[in-house]
Homo-oligomer: A and B are copies of this chain.
Amino acid sequence: MSTVPELSSLTPRAAEIVSAARVLLEEEGRDALTVRALADRLGIRAPSLYKHFSDKAAVEAALMERGLAETGAALHAALDAARHATPPEEPIGAVLRAYRRIGLAHPNLYRLTTSGPLPRQRLAPGLEEWAGTPFFLAAGEPYLAQALWSFAHGMVILELDGRYPEGSDLDRTWAEGAHAFTARRPRGGVERPSAEAQA
């Protein structure tokens, strides 16, 4: 139930712009997210956008914040749901399923958020790490957690990019990976995170 770190504050108009950018990105793809196209959607001219954002990368950074926040929220929620189910569900499988679901639900936002270097100076501090902690909570230790995250990201991005051979049974591939990692999970897993475990 951990709460989202506070996102970078935006003026109301800037928030509208980010929302429009998100719709544009998701509906028409990353290449279509152009300054002029975004301005068009808002009924203004391209240079006016620079009254609200220093450059295009700043808009993208705001979108990445949204992506990270939503991903983190979905993963934390999935973990909590698994924990409180009766009987408690396997947390690794729960996190993996949630991760895939959110990636496929917003493919272009996912790609934007997870491809290429992150502009960390422009992101709310702590956000990136908070979004990733569910992997740690599910895996019980940091090395397995990173391996699990890498597997999940690889699966999602390769699926989004159409890299798997046609007709692949990806449900089964996910299950295979989940099984491999679950078998290595340390006995008992991890309770609610202690402060230093998060750091």
CA of A104 to CA of B164 in the docked complex: distance in angstroms?
23
Copies of this chain, complex-wide, total 2
Enumerate chain B residues within 8 angstroms of A180, measured Cβ to Cβ. 144, 147, 180-181, 183-184
Residue of B nearest to A120 (CB): B162
User: Does A11 interact with chain B (Cβ within 8 Å)?
Assistant: no
Min CB gap A184→B, angstroms: 5
Contact pattern, A 88-131, Cβ under 8 Å of B = 1, otherwise 0: 00000000000000000000000000111110000000000100
Min CB gap A72→B, angstroms: 15
CA of A151 to CA of B176 in the docked complex: distance in angstroms?
12
B173 touches A184 (CB 8 A): no
A173 touches B161 (CB 8 A): no
B162 touches A118 (CB 8 A): yes
User: Does A152 interact with chain B (Cβ within 8 Å)?
Assistant: yes
Chain A residues bordering chain B, tally (CB within 8 A): 38
User: Does A50 interact with chain B (Cβ within 8 Å)?
Assistant: no
A146 touches B168 (CB 8 A): yes
User: Does A172 interact with chain B (Cβ within 8 Å)?
Assistant: yes
User: Does A165 interact with chain B (Cβ within 8 Å)?
Assistant: yes
Min CB gap A65→B, angstroms: 16
Min CB gap A28→B, angstroms: 16
Q: A151-B147, A151-B150 are in contact. Are A118 and B176 (CB under 8 A)?
A: no
B129 touches A165 (CB 8 A): yes
Enumerate chain B residues within 8 angstroms of A118, measured Cβ to Cβ. 161-163
5 extra interchain contacts, Cβ-Cβ under 8 A, other than A116-B161, A143-B175, A144-B180?
A117-B162, A118-B162, A147-B180, A150-B154, A154-B154
- List 12 A-B pairs, Cβ < 8 Å: A116-B161, A117-B162, A118-B161, A146-B170, A146-B176, A147-B174, A147-B176, A147-B177, A150-B155, A150-B173, A151-B154, A157-B157
